[in-house]
């Protein structure tokens, strides 16, 4: 398996523009997680899905952020409009089941977003 | 609520020396604990995990960690550091049936030749 695939790897955009980050989880994994990593706040869970359904989006910072999972092999994280404080590395991870049932989360390589 | 605290955001050790990265947890229920490693420009990779079995856990690349309930700790060690160990290391906690992992802020390990 190719692992979790994220695109693009790097994104540079200007404030106010829409940004879409993409993720393809590992086949057969029922859970998909979106994380954000910054120097100040470390690694934060934004939202996660189970069988394509959003379960917990309490980590999404504000309404400018939205995430979808239209099918088992694809998810997007959208920021509209983007702001400089959104600059971070965004990770997608997937797992067969819950972390609390001893299921490993596999991380993608991340998307480094810079908002100017 | 669960949390982990990683003491020391930066640790430097000489090649061949002992590596010790500290993690303390807070949990009102028995925890599951994890160490992940992140190499530059890569995602996180699982090093090892504790899920209520043996308290001394061995992982990949010669790393191990010991769960100490009395000290609420799960420190990561490696007897002899290698240049390839230079990376950022994250401790994480969850509990049985929990959906999420809660990560620490990370410790950047530098190996001095």
Residue A1 has pLDDT above 70, yes or no: no
Closest-CA residue of A relative to B107 is A42
Query: What is the predicted pLDDT for the residue at A97?
Result: 86
Residue A51 has pLDDT above 80, yes or no: yes
Query: What is the predicted pLDDT for the residue at A103?
Result: 83
Residue A48: which of B44, B90, B99 has the nearest Cβ? B99
Chain B residues in contact with A55 by the CB 8 A cut-off are 99
Query: What is the predicted pLDDT for the residue at A62?
Result: 86
Ranking A41-55, A91-105, B77-91 by mean pLDDT, the lowest is A91-105
Residue B43: which of A42, A48, A108 has the nearest Cβ? A108
Query: What is the predicted pLDDT for the residue at B112?
Result: 97
Contact between B37 and B47 under an 8 Å Cβ cutoff? The reply is: yes
CA A109, CA A11: separation in Å to the nearest integer? Answer: 14
Chain A residues in contact with B36 by the CB 8 A cut-off are 107
Rg, Å, chain B Cα set: 13
Residue A23 tokens read as 């993720």
A-B CB pairs within 8 A amount to 59
Query: What is the predicted pLDDT for the residue at A4?
Result: 96
Query: What is the predicted pLDDT for the residue at B99?
Result: 80
Distance in Å, alpha carbon of B90 to nearest chain A alpha carbon:
9
User: Is the Cα dihedral A85, A86, A91, A96 positive or negative?
Assistant: positive
Mean pLDDT of B14-31: 95
Residue B101: which of A4, A55, A105 has the nearest Cβ? A105
Q: How confident is the model at residue A41 (pLDDT cuts 50, 70, 90)?
A: confident
Q: How many CB atoms lie within 10 A of CB B113?
A: 6
**What distances in angstroms separate CA A48 from CA A13, A74, A77, one per listed residue?**
25, 13, 11
CA A36, CA A14: separation in Å to the nearest integer? Answer: 19
CA B36, CA A106: separation in Å to the nearest integer? Answer: 10
Q: Which helix (H) or strand (E) holds B107?
A: strand B107-112
Tens of pLDDT, residue by residue over B45-76, are: 999 999 877 899 999 999 999 999 999 999 99
Q: What percent of chain A has pLDDT over 70?
A: 99
Inform me whether the C-beta atom of residue A108 falls under 8 Å from chain B C-beta atoms.
Answer: yes
Inform me whether the C-beta atom of residue B60 falls under 8 Å from chain A C-beta atoms.
Answer: no
Q: Which pairing describes strands A19-24 and A74-79: parallel, antiparallel, or unpaired?
A: antiparallel
């Amino acid at each position: 398996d190719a692992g979790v695939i994220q695109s693009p790897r790097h994104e540079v955009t200007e404030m106010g523009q829409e940004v879409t980050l993409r993720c393809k989880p590992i086949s057969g994994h029922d859970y998909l997680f979106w994380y954000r990593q910054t120097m100040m706040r470390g690694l934060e869970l934004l939202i996660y899905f189970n069988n394509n359904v959003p379960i917990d989006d309490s980590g999404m910072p504000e309404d400018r952020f939205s995430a979808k999972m239209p099918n088992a092999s694809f998810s997007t994280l959208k920021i509209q409009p983007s702001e400089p404080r959104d600059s971070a590395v965004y990770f997608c991870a997937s797992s067969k089941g819950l972390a609390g049932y001893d299921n490993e989360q596999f991380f993608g390589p991340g998307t480094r977003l810079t908002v100017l | 609520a669960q949390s982990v605290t990683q003491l020391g955001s930066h640790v430097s050790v000489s090649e061949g020396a002992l590596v010790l990265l500290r993690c303390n947890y807070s949990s009102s229920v028995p925890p599951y604990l994890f160490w992940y490693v992140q190499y530059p420009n890569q995602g996180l990779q699982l090093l090892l995990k504790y899920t209520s079995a043996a308290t001394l856990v061995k992982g990949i690349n010669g790393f191990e960690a010991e769960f100490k309930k009395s000290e609420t700790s799960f420190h990561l060690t490696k007897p002899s550091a290698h240049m390839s160990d230079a990376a950022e290391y994250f401790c994480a906690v969850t509990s049985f049936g929990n959906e999420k992992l809660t990560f620490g802020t990370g410790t950047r390990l530098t190996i001095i030749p």
